[in-house]
Chains A and B, each alone.
Chain A
Amino acid sequence: MRAEEVPQDGAYLEGKKRGAYAVDANGRYTVVATAGWEAETAATRVALEAADAQIRAAFDEVKRGAKSALWYHLAARQLTPAQVAEYAGLSRLRVWWHLRPGPWAKASRELVERYAKALRIPPERLRALPEQPESWL
């Protein structure tokens, strides 16, 4: 790839630039700053859409009453129950228990605060669903 052909048409770098290697006018390789490539944006978009589908599915499950609100908040942050267990210092079994609506409603304030700290959201938001599922797009 030649330096002047390095694509600058990415949409997801938010004005930042990163490095790509390309050949300059003398045939030497150099590092060129690039704003991204639209083919790569298309691939990222597929992955973000898949994440959004997961979040929506979790949202619906919570709405139906099959899972607790914690399940939705995990999906929205793309975290697994095992990761949250480690961050909050709880056993995996306990996290699994709190993914059920009944036990989550009865969870103590201290426990919810522990999850809130691990997920970095205010405890009152952790108890309930937002109005709309969040999006990564």
Chain B
Amino acid sequence: MSESAVGSRQSAVPFTHHLSAHCESGVTASLITHAGLPLTEPRALGIGSGLFFVQLPMDQLMGAPSTSFRSKPGSIFAKVTRRLGVPTVVRRYRSPGAAHDDLLRLVDQGQLVALQTSVYYLEYLPRRFRFPFNAHNIIVYGRRDGRWLVSDPVLDQAAECDDESMSRARFAAGLLAPRGKAYWVERIADAAPARVGDAIAAGLRETGFMMGHSPIPFFGAKAIGYLAKRCEAWPRRFAKEPQKALLLLANVVRMQEEIGTGGAGFRYLYAAFLQDVADTYGDPAYARMSERMTAIGDTWRKFAGTAARLFRGGQATPELFAPVVAILEGLRESERALFRELNAHVRSGRKALPEESRFLPRNT
């Protein structure tokens, strides 16, 4: 642990906290907006290809659920800044002391710094959500009375965190250990606003391809079908302990809703992005895809609602699980069709982007 405290000196970067749905896209949008290029959260998610689906062939991965509705932690920030050509700094530290001193120096210089942390040690979060998950992103924008001023994008208000908890959160052990990771945007390159249109196209293409065409059955829309298959087997596999079958199903719902996805496992956020793309490009095809994405999101919510009735019942039989499995199979088909179409549409329409609207970020 760090010996030096935060100190009673005050300093704060002039910064407005915004409520976001998801930590990483929220942090990315805030950092880039603060540096001078207005960027909304749906855009950060879309450009960074944050929407994904993963189902790995095991029940749990070091105690964590093996289902994910998102791409690899850290990739949204990396892809957004790369696609926009924004120079960044990413640092990891060997010791909490060095990480603390560097943060202190940066904050006093007026730099907005994002950190990778473990939710387990962030005491301002609700108690029941503080499970050991190591890839939560927050922004530190100042210090006051020996405490860090924290903007946690998933909460509606800014928070404070004491130094000891912060050090622990930054140096938590286990899966995806943050190792003190701190990152920030250096400046916005002059060419960045002009690259927004191409960056959006790159983000759309990658998501469309990975979701619709992934050759590996554990990734993309195919993996939803794979999850359906696994889900169908749980009541039989755990015939003697229905609680275990329900726990595995609950883990899927938790990844979809609880961890801060904006609802329906990022599907609503992505629909918001597609709506934005329709306006930016002036292409109504994206507006129609946005509506289909919303319908898919509603189906995911229906899946969660149906599963919740099973949790309350406490029983797990193949008959009870059948409706849940059927919804997942339907989702596999609708997502696969939509993302294939999205990929094909972006590829065919790349040269036809209207020049003037490419430079204007909307609703900032």
Contacts and interface: CB of A to CB of B under 8 A. Distances in A.
Same complex: yes
Interface of A: 1, 6, 12-14, 16-23, 28-29, 31, 33, 37-40, 42-50, 53, 78-80, 82-83, 86-87, 136-137
A60 to B, nearest CB: 17
Contacts of B247: 46-47, 50
B214 to A, nearest CB: 25
A37 B304 CA distance: 10
Q: Tell me if B's interface is mostly helix, strand, loop or mixed.
A: helix
B263 A12 contact: no
Interface of B: 19-21, 26, 41-42, 62-63, 125-129, 131-132, 153-157, 172-174, 243, 246-247, 250-251, 253-254, 257-258, 260, 262-264, 268-269, 271-272, 275-276, 294, 297-298, 301, 304-305, 307-308, 311-312
A31 B294 contact: no
Q: Which of B127, B247, B257, B269 has most A Cβ within 10 Å?
A: B257
A116 to B, nearest CB: 13
Contacts of A87: 173
A21 B262 contact: yes
B154 A18 contact: yes
Contact of B156 (A14, A16, A23, A82): A16
Given A17-B155, A43-B253, A46-B243, 20 more contacts: A1-B264, A1-B301, A13-B129, A16-B125, A18-B155, A21-B268, A21-B271, A21-B272, A22-B268, A23-B294, A39-B253, A40-B253, A42-B308, A42-B312, A43-B251, A44-B128, A47-B247, A82-B174, A83-B174, A87-B173
Nearest to A30: B272
A74 to B, nearest CB: 12
A82 B175 CA distance: 11
A31 B308 contact: no
A21 B263 contact: yes
A20 B129 contact: no
28 contacts: A1-B263, A1-B264, A1-B268, A1-B298, A6-B263, A14-B126, A14-B127, A16-B155, A17-B19, A17-B156, A18-B19, A19-B262, A21-B269, A29-B268, A31-B19, A31-B20, A33-B19, A37-B304, A39-B301, A39-B308, A42-B312, A43-B253, A43-B254, A44-B250, A46-B250, A82-B174, A83-B132, A83-B172
Given A16-B156, A22-B263, A23-B294, A43 B20 contact: no
Given A18-B19, A21-B42, A50-B243, A12 B298 contact: no
A13 B304 CA distance: 18
Contacts of B128: 12, 44, 48, 136-137
Q: Which of A17, A37, A40, A46 has most B Cβ within 10 Å?
A: A46
A12 B42 contact: no
Given A1-B301, A33-B156, A37-B257, A21 B243 contact: no
A18 B312 contact: no
B311 A42 contact: yes
Contacts of A86: 173
Given A18-B260, A29-B42, A83 B297 contact: no
A43 B324 CA distance: 14
A46 B307 CA distance: 11
Nearest to B19: A19
Contacts of B307: 39, 43
Contact of B250 (A1, A12, A47, A79): A47
A19 B174 contact: no
Contacts of A46: 243, 246-247, 250, 311
A38 B308 contact: yes
Contacts of B301: 1, 39
A103 to B, nearest CB: 23
A45 B243 CA distance: 12
A137 B128 CA distance: 7
A19 B126 contact: no
A86 to B, nearest CB: 4
B155 A43 contact: no
Nearest to A84: B173
A29 B63 CA distance: 35
Nearest to A137: B128
